[in-house]
Amino acid sequence: MAESVADVLVSTLYETGVRQIFGVVGDALNPLTDAIRRDKRIEWIGVRHEEGAAQAAAGQAKATGKLAVCCGTTGPGANHLVAGLYEARKDHAPVLAISGGVPAAKRGTDYLQENSPDLLFRDVAAYTQTVTAAEQAAHVFHQAIAHAYAHRGVAHINVPADILGAKAAGQVPGVAMLHPRPEMAPDPEDIERAARLINNAGSVALFAGNGCRNAVPGLLSLADRLNAPVLHTFRAKDLVAYNHPRWIGGVGLIGGAPGVDALRDADLVLMLGADYPYSEYLPTRGNVIQIDERVEALGRRAPIELGIAGSLRPALAQLLESVVQKTDGSFFDKVTRHREQWEDTLDKRCDPAQGKGRIQPETVARLLGDLAAPDATFVIDTGEVTLWCGNWFRQSGRQRILASFNNAAVGTALGQANGIQALDRSKQVIVAAGDGGFTMLLGEFMTSVEHQLPLKVVVFNNRGWGLVHLEMEEAGQPAFAGAELRNLDFAAFARACGAHGFTARTPGELESALKQLLATPGPAVLNAFIDPATLPIMPHIKADQVWKFGIAKVKEAMQSLVGSQSGG
């Protein structure tokens, strides 16, 4: 049988390293799913919602830096992909989204499920194209994959079923060139200028982002050479073990006061592969050298003295050849003492005795991180759970931490974890989610069960939209009733799905429940009832914010009193 357009697409995806495709079947995709069935080299992972397919692909691409693929059928099926694809767009991960299209002969007639997918995908995708002829297909496939890699983002192709099933006009050209883009060495003159600034500076602080992922040895060598502390973004937290003497901690709410103060007090700050969005925590004096592969990121978060375009591994290697050893360790010693004080505060907050009979979320996060495998992957949802895990996890240096870093979307962790677990079913993959986030795409847990993806889910159950509640109080407003949730029994739900479910309601039950969860084969859920009144530690919280929290608590107490009186 002559090769179809769908056959060419499947073969090309396999040659570029794709081993799973996530999606929901539908008639517009029939030629593609049949080609996958006949080819047998790529696993089709059927999800329960197309957004879950996009999240799974995004999680896979973020974990590996390689192309991942998701599918949705015509109209609503493709529309559902979009929300999940923003994970890949915002976190710069290469994903190919394939949507089925209505037959070419029916377009423009308001046909069933007809829409304009190229318009819909234009914001989320670096490349979007509808294939209208078999002769066009191979070249569009090439362009889509090339754009996904070149832009480290989303590419979308819309292919009607009649085109997918048509005889192919040729193979995809240049498949060997479809791979992650190579590193880019900076201009040596820029490096020499940076070295002069560094050598003339007193104290130096390094602020590391995800761009340092392939450059950790050079980063730590530079820190030693400059006697400098290394601060990090949340996304870069997992690059180095938490107890490394140079790895001081994060910045901002997912971080701590030592990092904030070090950035403020250093004579010179090196921003290395970090595009940190919260400018209020960054230096304002222009005493910054920023190095990043993306030219557009240079200087957009904080005023800089020098911006250097280039990849961090070659940049750090070049810097190490030019900077001199700094012998004055007073700044680093000061930051280290502050770090020790801050870690003591964190340790006290996660002591189970602090909960007075209630499970503290900090305790859940600390125990979960400590009990997990030394090479586990954590996928953290968005909300208060991000603060608990971001601040209380003590990463091993071999573990991986993933989240909705720049999209900051609630309900994305489970879908992303499915994609990551599919890469290797023997590795430990753990989801940390709030009750609100877990219920958003609850059906994706059935994807885990159906495809034997043995991920472990810990639900930080505070019976409400915790971060929204916190934001209301920070604004001086009492928590609105819409911030509260009435939940199902998550452990019973897991068992109903054919998986394992555990519950912890008291501090005494927590550690045993976590150990059972992590030791259980197959997918499992722990429903951990945490104290909803616990507030996160906020570095340098302002007096007016404290006042607003107080006002909000008074209003909540008064509303509760009025409610009880009217009900009595």
Q: What is the CATH number of the domain that holds 297?
A: 3.40.50.1220
Q: In CATH, what number is assigned to the domain containing residue 170? A: 3.40.50.970
* Structural domain includes residue 159: yes
User: For a pLDDT cut of 70, what percent of the chain falls above it?
Assistant: 90
User: Are 144 and 79 found together in one domain?
Assistant: yes
Cα–Cα dist 184/412, whole Å? 32
For residues 56 and 122, state if they share a domain: yes
pLDDT of residue 104: 77
pLDDT over 80 at 558, yes or no: no
Do 112 and 214 fall into the same domain? no
Could you give the CA distance from residue 103 to residue 111 in angstroms, rounded to a whole number?
9
Please indicate whether residue 561 or residue 117 has the higher confidence score (pLDDT). 117
pLDDT for 136 beyond 50: yes
Instruction: Please give the share of the chain, as a percent, with pLDDT higher than 90.
Output: 82
Q: What tens digit of pLDDT does each residue of 440-479 get?
A: 999 999 999 999 999 999 999 998 655 555 555 555 555 5
560 domain-assigned: no
Q: What pLDDT, on the 0 to 100 scale, is given for residue 230?
A: 98
* In a domain? residue 405: yes
> Is residue 110's pLDDT more than 80?
no
Last residue of a domain, one of 177, 197, 224: 177
Together in a domain, 264 and 373: no
Show the domain range for 60.
Answer: 5-177
Is 168 found in the same domain as 244?
no
**pLDDT 10s digits, 27-82:** 899 999 999 999 999 999 999 999 999 999 999 999 999 999 999 999 899 999 99
Q: Are residues 27 and 166 in the same domain?
A: yes
Same structural domain, 241 and 278: yes
Q: Are 290 and 261 in contact (CB under 8 A)?
A: no
Residues 126 and 16 in one domain: yes
Looking at the domain assignment, is residue 564 inside a domain? no
Would you say 248 and 269 are in contact if contact means Cβ atoms under 8 Å apart?
no
| Whether residue 150 sits in one domain with residue 47 | yes
Pairing between β-strand 500-504 and β-strand 524-529 as defined by DSSP bridges: parallel
* Domain end position, chosen among 177, 196, 228: 177
For residue 566, being part of any structural domain is answered with no
Strands (E), 193-284: 204-208, 230-232, 247-250, 268-272
Contact 60, 26 (CB under 8 A): no
**Using 50, 70 and 90 to split pLDDT, how confident is the model at 408?**
very high
Residue at 415 is within a domain: yes
* Residues 195 and 327 reside in one and the same domain: yes
The last residue of one of the domains, among 130, 157, 177, is 177
Number of domains in the chain: 3
